[in-house]
Amino acid sequence: MIVTPVTELLGIRVPIVQGGMQWVGLPPLVAAVSNAGGLGILTALTQPSPAALRDAIRDTRKRTSKPFGVNITLLPTINPPDYEGYARAAVEEGVRVFETAGNSPGKLIKFFKDRGCLVIHKCTTIRHAKSAQRMGVDILSIDGFECAGHPGEEDVPGLVLLARAAEELKLPYIASGGIADSRGFAAALALGASGINMGTRFMCTVEAPIHQNIKEKIVASSEQDTEHIFRTLHNTARVFKNKVATEVVSIERRPGGAKFEDIRELVSGARGKQVYETGDPDRGIWSAGLSVGLIHDIPTCEELVSRMETKTEEIIQNMQKVVVRAKL
């Protein structure tokens, strides 16, 4: 059994957290991860309104009696969603664990902490993690360059970022980005993490609410099959390398660069949602981490979490054989 500060704080058996993924963090997957012993995370902004989030929380609670959380990501947008409404709805529905991400999270973090909630905050740099630590979060999620979605602008891989976290941070932290198997799980623990966060790996499970074609596309892919978009806009995102992503990068590389208006239609969230609904991997932009190169099957969440737990324990135990003490 793997016991860490994260398992104790969150009341879970295995220190594995499911990433809050747009269009993917829905009740069937969330409940399956929590029932398997990890922490499932509902994605608030996948829901069209705070009232819809209430319904999703109630649906999840019907499916599991285990702890689960809600993700609220602060987006760089002119017309922000009703963050306070989503936060209030979740708290009023009894949710006590929240994953936050994005810029200027102080107000949101204070809202949750004033109501006795646990907050996991996702960061891509040590300075941002230290800032969140001062704001009073309980757990930090350290996102390496390998991750799906937004890895920040400094391109620091997990191997270095997690070791730096061990040097600098006082709070427990989980490792995010590039982890999809027990080797990555064990490595994260060796680097000082108290658990792991997986997004892309959970997309490729039986319970993930996305089209089977997309799951099979992930299995057939390698670590070469992701792309960075929005680099020139200083809002880098790692996505699956498809026709749309390639077109976006081509536009960004034009002489004089590109404005968001030049690619707005290509990267719309509605098109990304259709990828998961229709099974057409080229319909729009969809997030995928480098861990696609490590994903070779489509298990249930129970099978995946159990396998990772057992094999990680074996790796840790076998590592003890590496240390040989000289006889005196």
Residues 144-186: pLDDT tens digits? 999 999 999 999 999 999 999 999 999 999 999 999 999 999 9
pLDDT at residue 273 in the model: 96
Distance from chain centroid for Cα 236: 16
Instruction: Report the amino acid identity of residue 1.
Output: M
pTM for the structure as a whole: 0.96
Mean pLDDT per 10-residue segment, the chain (328 residues)? 97 97 98 98 98 98 98 88 97 98 94 98 97 97 96 96 98 98 98 98 98 98 98 95 98 92 94 97 98 98 98 95 81
pLDDT of residue 79: 85
Compute CA distances 202 → 38, 185, 213, whole Å.
11, 14, 15
How confident is the model at residue 75, as a pLDDT?
86
Both structure tokens of 302: 């129970």
Report the pLDDT value the prediction gives residue 26, as an integer from 0 to 100: 98
Q: Which tokens go with 13?
A: 């058996």
CB 231, CB 151: distance < 8 Å: no
Residues 6+ apart with CB under 8 A from 259: none
Report the relative pairing of strands 97-102 and 226-229 from DSSP bridges: unpaired
pLDDT of residue 98: 98
Span 25-57, pLDDT tens digits: 999 999 999 999 999 999 999 999 999 999 999
Rg (CA), the chain: 19
- Which residues touch 105 (CB under 8 Å, ≥6 apart)? 74, 121, 132, 135
Tell me the CA distances in angstroms from 275 to 24, 33, 37, 263, one per residue in order. Answer: 11, 23, 29, 18
Is domain 5-209 in CATH 3.20.20.70, yes or no? yes
**Residue 328, pLDDT score:** 67
- The per-residue pLDDT for 327 is 74
pLDDT at 76: 80
φ, ψ of residue 286 to 5 degrees: the values are: -145, 140
Chain mean pLDDT for the chain: 96
First to last CA, the chain: 34
d(CA 42, CA 45): 9
Domain boundaries, the chain: 5-209
Tokens of 184: 């990555």
CA–CA separation, 305 and 311 (whole Å):
10
Position 130 scores a pLDDT of 97
